[in-house]
Amino acid sequence: MTTFITAGTSQVGLALARLLHASNHSVLLGSRRQGQGIPAPNSWVSFDWSDASTFPNPFNDTKSKIQSVLLILSTELDPIPQVGPFVDLAAEKGVKRFVLVGAADVSKGGSNIGKVHQYLEEKGVEFVVLRPTWFLDNLARTQLANIRDKDAILTPTPTARVAFVSVDDIAEAAFDALTRPSPIPAPGEDKESAAAPIILGPELLSYDEVANTLTEVLGRKITHRHITTNEVLEQYDGFGIPRGSETAKFLLNLELGLERGDAERLLNLPEERKRVGKVRLRDWAEKNKAVW
């Protein structure tokens, strides 16, 4: 049986594929770019959330019987017109379990991922929504140019503290959810704990502390600089998210929520609601320091 990963070249998708291959699980990756960026030995099919004609492709591959799907979404605030028909088709084709990469600060029914969370529940399929906090790996992506070229981390959150989580820890959580032999939730198991775990990193850190660790690892001074909301929106523009768009407003509100303590409060959740990863900032930075 095969797991289909909708975003085959995403960070989480590639990390999960490595884990599945290492455990002799069959994997099929979705690609918007004709397999570009998909490493061997992965198989792939054309798949694009914005093109419904690609939705049957995973199920047309005679070598693969898709039993589970990892859903990684685009940034559409209402993805249901895209994702709903695919989930319906997948269920018709015999998919038994869906795992959605969500976010700790987006609850069921909320914008973007939250709408799909609600859809899966109402559909009555077996699912898990992984709800990670902010990615440690964004230091090597959205903050890459800032650190490399300006020796700075730029945020609108001067004092926020976050239990940053690594892509590898998220992929491990996805692997466990996809390969778990028992139903989700199992009889007597708390539904929220089983089907919507909050994924945290092992350290609660401010961006100042992150900058200090990078300074030690890289051997040059890295600072944390507070920027205005207008400057944040300019950064979004550079990532291809228009500053006046509803998506930009949504993302900005999530960032500002860090300063309000939204991420820090997650640590107060009951232990059974949380999954704490293993990857610490210093170890991750040492492994990835060549990118800066």
Q: Are 274 and 198 in contact (CB under 8 A)?
A: yes
Q: Are 87 and 98 in contact (CB under 8 A)?
A: yes
CA-to-CA distance for 233 and 16, rounded, in angstroms? 31
**CATH architecture, domain 136-163+201-269+277-291:** Alpha-Beta Complex (3.90)
CA-to-CA distance for 88 and 69, rounded, in angstroms? 12
Q: In this predicted structure, what is the pLDDT of residue 75?
A: 82
CA-to-CA distance for 31 and 48, rounded, in angstroms? 7
CA-to-CA distance for 161 and 203, rounded, in angstroms? 10
Query: Strand (E) positions, 110-241?
Result: 127-132, 152-155, 161-162, 198-200, 205-206, 223-226
CA-to-CA distance for 88 and 171, rounded, in angstroms? 25
Q: In this predicted structure, what is the pLDDT of residue 63?
A: 76
Topology (CATH level 3) of domain 2-132+167-199 = Rossmann fold (3.40.50)
Q: Are 199 and 173 in contact (CB under 8 A)?
A: yes
| Three-class secondary structure of residue 148 per DSSP | helix
* Reported pTM: 0.94
CA-to-CA distance for 63 and 99, rounded, in angstroms? 22
Q: Are 233 and 240 in contact (CB under 8 A)?
A: no
Q: In this predicted structure, what is the pLDDT of residue 259?
A: 95
Q: In this predicted structure, what is the pLDDT of residue 41?
A: 87
CA-to-CA distance for 102 and 99, rounded, in angstroms? 9
| Three-class secondary structure of residue 124 per DSSP | coil
Segments making up each domain of the chain, as ranges: 2-132+167-199, 136-163+201-269+277-291
Q: In this predicted structure, what is the pLDDT of residue 33?
A: 86
Q: In this predicted structure, what is the pLDDT of residue 76?
A: 82
CA-to-CA distance for 143 and 235, rounded, in angstroms? 10
CA-to-CA distance for 63 and 60, rounded, in angstroms? 9
> CA angle 159-146-203, nearest 5°?
40
Say how many C-beta atoms besides its own lie within 10 A of residue 149's C-beta.
Answer: 9
| Three-class secondary structure of residue 188 per DSSP | coil
Q: In this predicted structure, what is the pLDDT of residue 64?
A: 78
Q: What residue ranges of the chain have pLDDT lower than 70? A: none
